[in-house]
Amino acid sequence: MRAARLDGPGPAAVLAMVGGALGLLAASRPWVHAVVQDPVLGRTSVTASGRQAAAVVPAVALVALAGGVALLLARTLGRRVAGLLLVLAGAAQLAAALAVVRSPESGVSDVVARAVGAVGTTDVHVQVTGWPWLAVASGVLVAAAGALAVLRARHWEVRTTRYDPPGPPGSPAEDPAPEDAAAPDTWDALSRGEDPTR
């Protein structure tokens, strides 16, 4: 029973949604602190959030949340397409977050330019917080969810609804329930003016 529960889109969808939630959290937190020594304004401190330092992170987080839902609701081809999009989105987020970690000056440059009113200020000291690493982990989760969907989607059961076309002859969906078999007689009795409850 436990293995059957794990062999479906559920784990991949959970990975994608958790990755998306962590990405949204990371994007809302401060990523880079910068101290600018300007000859006119003096010492100025600015902070760049994840949205400002890597705008792709919140976008990927929304894609991950939508992709998690798609993995639960779509059929095999749709799940594979959603999985491929999740792999690409997770890789993009991973690259963006690592770029800020490696070169934090680029992530905070726009915020510094707005704060001091000048571009290319040389005396800037930057410090990276731990939040970009959460975005890195989020990107890994999203990409892993997508890879799992691409590799395993054909083995997952497809959800069926009562609006789907009937199965092959003799399938359980074709066999009428006992109350369904009696329904035409009941309607005929009503049409003739008889009380079917008697």
Residue 124's pLDDT band (cuts 50, 70, 90): confident
Pairwise pLDDT comparison (93 vs 34), residue with the higher score? 93
Residue 167 lies in a domain: no
> Other C-beta atoms within 10 Å of 112: how many?
24
Residue 69 has pLDDT above 60, yes or no: yes
Residue burial 127-149, b: 16+ Cβ < 10 Å; e: rest: ebbebbebbbbbbbbbbbbbbbb
Least confident of 13-17, 73-77, 123-127, 137-141: 123-127
Q: To the nearest whole percent, how much of the chain has pLDDT over 90?
A: 34
Tell me the DSSP string of 28-63.
HSEEEEEEEEETTTEEEEEEEEHHHH-THHHHHHHH
Residue 166 lies in a domain: no
Q: How far apart are CA 192 and CA 198, in angstroms?
A: 14
Residues 24 and 131: beta-carbon distance below 8 Å: no
Q: What is the pTM for the complete model shown? A: 0.68
Residue 198 lies in a domain: no
Strand partners, 45: 35
- How many angstroms separate the Cα of 80 from the Cα of each of 44, 64, 89, 145? 49, 14, 14, 11
Residue 164 has pLDDT above 60, yes or no: no
Residue 90 lies in a domain: yes
Q: Residue 7 corresponds to which tokens in the numbers above?
A: 């062999």
Residue 117 lies in a domain: yes
Q: Which domain holds residue 94?
A: 2-160
Pairwise pLDDT comparison (128 vs 2), residue with the higher score? 128
Number of structural domains (the chain) is 1
pLDDT digits (tens, 9 = 90+) for 32-66: 888 877 666 667 788 888 888 888 999 999 999 99
Q: How far apart are CA 12 and CA 17, in angstroms?
A: 9
Walk across the sheet containing 42-49 and list its strands: 42-49, 30-38, 124-128
Residue 106 has pLDDT above 60, yes or no: yes
**For residues 62-84, average pLDDT:** 90
Residue 3's pLDDT band (cuts 50, 70, 90): very low
Strand partners, 34: 46, 126
pLDDT digits (tens, 9 = 90+) for 165-184: 555 555 554 444 555 555 66
Q: How far apart are CA 52 and CA 161, in angstroms?
A: 44
Residue 117's pLDDT band (cuts 50, 70, 90): low
Residue 17 lies in a domain: yes
Residue 22 has pLDDT above 80, yes or no: yes
Q: How far apart are CA 51 and CA 187, in angstroms?
A: 64
Residue 190 lies in a domain: no
* Tokens 């001091």 found at: 116
Residue 182 lies in a domain: no
52: CATH: 1.20.140
